[in-house]
Amino acid sequence: MDPIEISYGQLLIGLVFIATAGGASLFLKLGLERDIIWGTVRTFAQLFLMGYILVYIFRMDSAAIILLIFTGMILFAALTIRGRVQEKGVPYLIPTFISMFMSYMLVTIVVTYFVINVEPWYEPRYFIPLGGMIIGNSMSAIAISLERIFSDIRKRRDEIELYLCLGARHGEATGDIVRESVKAGMIPSINAMMAVGIVFLPGMMTGQIIAGADPVTSIKYQIVVMLMLVGSTAIGSIIIAFIVRNLCFTKAEQLKI
């Protein structure tokens, strides 16, 4: 069963929702009008662009190009995180990129190669959407971990310095802080496993069902996605927390921020 096509006219009806949000912003003086309009323009532009690019990508048969595109997506996600996390003292962009790259690449390849068993493993129709879902969802986990570790180090400065004065290495002085930061990054994806199917129906599953796929097949895919999100947020949060923690200290075990 093919899905019902949405015409461009019908798509524009969706702008009613934007007008509602914009009206609310004007009425309540929220000052969000510009962001709402800019966000709408970007949503249309980015998704259409991605759609047309995907048509080309799906025809490609080169692992190198697919991985390059995936790397570009991760880089963009890392830049987005930099816009969100307000920290000037420590250069964390490259570590963020590295931890996302390692975690997402590993998880996506395991899923396409071992779980779904796609031939070849980089088959773009699977690799790009699955990888994109990991990036989109666990990007916020990395941002949460980063925000948490920076704010905790600043808040618990006296305690960290007490440990350092007593002869602790920075690892000993910040053990709790790193644990809390990793935990904060992991909890949302664990909570999502509790609520899925009851509180919310995930976009991928509903999308497949609307597109006419067998609901049971869609559910299996969704389960794989939920599991890989837990894995990727765990790996990503752990790597970023450890790297960034180390960057906050000098070689002489002094706090930098």
Contact 47, 32 (CB under 8 A): no
Residue 155 backbone dihedrals phi, psi, to 5 degrees = -70, -35
Nearest CA to 228 out of 89, 54, 109, 73 is that of 109
Is 195 or 252 the residue whose CB approaches another protein more closely? 252
Nearer to another protein, 164 or 238 (CB): 164
Shortest spacing between CB 254 and another protein, in angstroms: 6
**Pattern of binders to another protein over 152-171, x per CB under 8 A?**
------xx-xxxxxxxxx--
Nearest-approach distance from CB 46 to another protein, in angstroms:
46
Nearer to another protein by Cβ, of 16 and 166: the residue is 166
**CB of residue 167 to another protein, shortest distance in Å:** 4
- Choice between 143 and 164, CB closer to another protein: 164
- Least separation in angstroms between residue 93's CB and another protein is 27
Query: Given the complex with another protein, which of 33 and 253 has the nearer CB atom?
Result: 253
Q: Closest distance between another protein and the C-beta of residue 174, in Å? A: 13
The DSSP secondary structure of the chain, one letter per residue, reads: -PPPPPPHHHHHHTHHHHHHHHHHHHHTT---HHHHHHHHHHHHHHHHHHHHHHHHHTT---HHHHHHHHHHHHHHHHHHHHHHS---SS--HHHHHHHHHHHHHHHHHIIIIIIS--SSTT-HHHHHHHHHHHHHHHHHHHHHHHHHHHHHHHHTHHHHHHHHHTT--HHHHTHHHHHHHHHHHHHHHHHHHHHBTTTB--HHHHHHHHTT--HHHHHHHHHHHHHHHHHHHHHHHHHHHHHHHHHTB-TTS-B--
| Residue from 172, 179, 193, 215 binding another protein (CB under 8 A) | 172
User: For another protein, which residue of 20, 80, 191, 254 counts as binding (CB under 8 A)?
Assistant: 254
User: Which is closer to another protein, CB of 125 or CB of 157?
Assistant: 157
- State in Å, rounded, how far the first CA of the chain is from the last one: 58
Cβ distance to another protein smaller for residue 81 or 160: 160
Contact code string over 184-213 relative to another protein, x by CB under 8 A: ------------------------------
| Residue 33 binds another protein (CB under 8 A) | no
Q: How far is the CB of 170 from another protein (least distance, A)?
A: 10
**Which residues lie near another protein (CB under 8 A)?**
158-159, 161-169, 172, 252-255
